[in-house]
Structure 1
């Protein structure tokens, strides 16, 4: 069996991806910040000695680095860089120090590195212009990681928004679904006129799985579909699923400065590397979350 190590295996993405890879025949191991168990190692990825212990034990054939601070609204700006930037480079340095060379390393960045480009579809040729600390920390990671392209087989992913069952309720779509589950009459939101991809978590898991065995490395890839969905359309879908119409109220506290109005990505490069990906309609993703 092919050993794959997933950092933050107990995260939303990590839980889905580990199950997906196990079904695909991989021997899955993972790191967690607080938990440990069979094939799961408690590890603070900001500490090189902790990383070294795990990597020496597992000696992975593949590595998918998901761990990071992913909630854009987090107020601890320093932590974005400690975890998203420096810890990622710690992983690459530790692999080299231990002379461990996986067949493929995937580093999860984010589509937020693009910032506001004034374009309806964003591709990898654009110069990033991150508008917040989360995006800036991921762009810093990308820039530093490219110095390792000649030493390790790395692919950097830029996932656009995705969702599914089990995602934390401080993210937008789970927050909306929760309001309907609780039969609330009023839903407080921030910026209403935004468009995002809101891809299904299964789409993302299949993309990562195929990226592990594609021949290319030393590249940055959008994980995107180009399928933009208006936020108000998502609410309308939930009205239908839940069987009632919720009232929308704008809460100024939820209105983000420098909000990116439209964020959809070109999937052309991704699909040229791993083949075309399809996914279920968004209303079915919402239904799955509502019924979970």
Structure 2
């Protein structure tokens, strides 16, 4: 099975490529500027592929350049789907969306049928990509994943957990964070990658599926675990500049559908993930 992967050189893509190889598939990087329809068309036409995982996106929610969210995440996805439908009709395509589409008001462990109320441009661009992708349903086998927060070695320090880990590794006296009260479903990129490999190779998969752990933890939990790992304590302060407006208080994923589809899949624990990151020589690239 030849699986084409967009975003293969990104944080998640590198782990997905490894997971596909471990699962016995041949991973083929599908590289093209998502803003360039002609380049995408050429890349798809020249790539020998059976199925596709579409990870490439503009992903940092706090970026002020809101226009590019739609140019890349929405329109770029449409260009890619159109090219695949013309050159590889009937192919399975897994589109990486985001749990951010559930938005404010989503509480507890959220199932895929929950209402969608995106509260920022990133989330709205992802939901728009989901909605628009349905226009290719008659020519492609489409599935949408909604990953909740996940992290791991190689994620940049602009993201929450790598930032906290880096501060503990440097043994700083103080760290400034945003909304410290939020609770999230913090996953491990290795578990997410394994799920992507399993889903793209499975005989049948749902149209929409959460990628999560089914557990929520607070920022305080993360700090406490890292204090235990490092033997170091530091002052945690809230910087108003880092506080996101319309942030979602509690966001956890119901993974019943994922477990039914991939019964042997397991999510790594937060303790395992943090130990991996803290003990690794690099926390970001």
Q: How far off is 1:103 after superposition?
A: 4.1
Distance, in Å, in 2 between the alignment partners of 1:107 and 1:8 is 12
Residue 181 of structure 1 is matched in structure 2 by: 169
Distance, in Å, in 2 between the alignment partners of 1:203 and 1:137 is 25
The answer as to whether partners of 2:175 and 2:237 remain within 8 angstroms in 1 is yes
Q: Secondary structure at the match of 1:89?
A: helix
The answer as to whether partners of 1:193 and 1:261 remain within 8 angstroms in 2 is yes
Distance, in Å, in 2 between the alignment partners of 1:168 and 1:287 is 17
Distance, in Å, in 2 between the alignment partners of 1:183 and 1:102 is 53
Distance, in Å, in 1 between the alignment partners of 2:249 and 2:191 is 23
Residue 22 of structure 2 is matched in structure 1 by: 23
Distance, in Å, in 2 between the alignment partners of 1:45 and 1:133 is 18
Q: How far off is 1:226 after superposition?
A: 1.2
Residue 66 of structure 1 is matched in structure 2 by: 55
Q: Secondary structure at the match of 1:226?
A: coil
Q: Secondary structure at the match of 1:144?
A: helix
CA distances 1:129-182 after superposition (whole Å, capped 9, x unpaired): 001000000000000112222321111000011111101111100010011111
Q: How far off is 1:214 after superposition?
A: 2.5
Residue 38 of structure 1 is matched in structure 2 by: none
Q: Indicate which of 141, 155, 161 corresponds to 1:153.
A: 141
| Structure 2 CA distance for partners of 1:130 and 1:257, relative to 1, 3 Å | same
Q: How many residues are treated as equivalent by the alignment?
A: 280
Residue 215 of structure 1 is matched in structure 2 by: 203
Q: How far off is 1:206 after superposition?
A: 1.5
Residue 41 of structure 2 is matched in structure 1 by: 52
Residue 90 of structure 1 is matched in structure 2 by: 79
Gaps of 5+ in 2: 281-285
Q: CA RMSD in A?
A: 1.4
| Structure 2 CA distance for partners of 1:118 and 1:101, relative to 1, 3 Å | closer
Q: Which has the higher contact order (CA 8 A, sep 6+)?
A: 2
Which moves more between the two structures, 118-127 or 156-165? 118-127
Spell out the pairing of 1:93-242 with structure 2 (5 A cutoff): 93-98=82-87, 100-101=88-89, 103-216=91-204, 219-242=207-230
Q: Secondary structure at the match of 2:200?
A: helix
The answer as to whether partners of 2:106 and 2:248 remain within 8 angstroms in 1 is no
Distance, in Å, in 1 between the alignment partners of 2:233 and 2:170 is 13
Which moves more between the two structures, 232-241 or 148-157? 148-157
CA distances 1:51-97 after superposition (whole Å, capped 9, x unpaired): 12211221311111001111000000100000000000101111122
Residue 3 of structure 1 is matched in structure 2 by: 2
Q: How far off is 1:216 after superposition?
A: 3.0
Which moves more between the two structures, 277-286 or 123-132? 277-286
| Structure 2 CA distance for partners of 1:168 and 1:185, relative to 1, 3 Å | same
The answer as to whether partners of 1:146 and 1:218 remain within 8 angstroms in 2 is no
Give the alignment's TM-score, normalised by structure 2.
0.94
The reply to whether residue 285 of structure 1 matches residue 284 of structure 2 is: no
Q: How far off is 1:276 after superposition?
A: 4.9
Q: How far off is 1:121 after superposition?
A: 1.6
Distance, in Å, in 2 between the alignment partners of 1:102 and 1:235 is 47
Residue 283 of structure 2 is matched in structure 1 by: none
Distance, in Å, in 2 between the alignment partners of 1:243 and 1:10 is 35
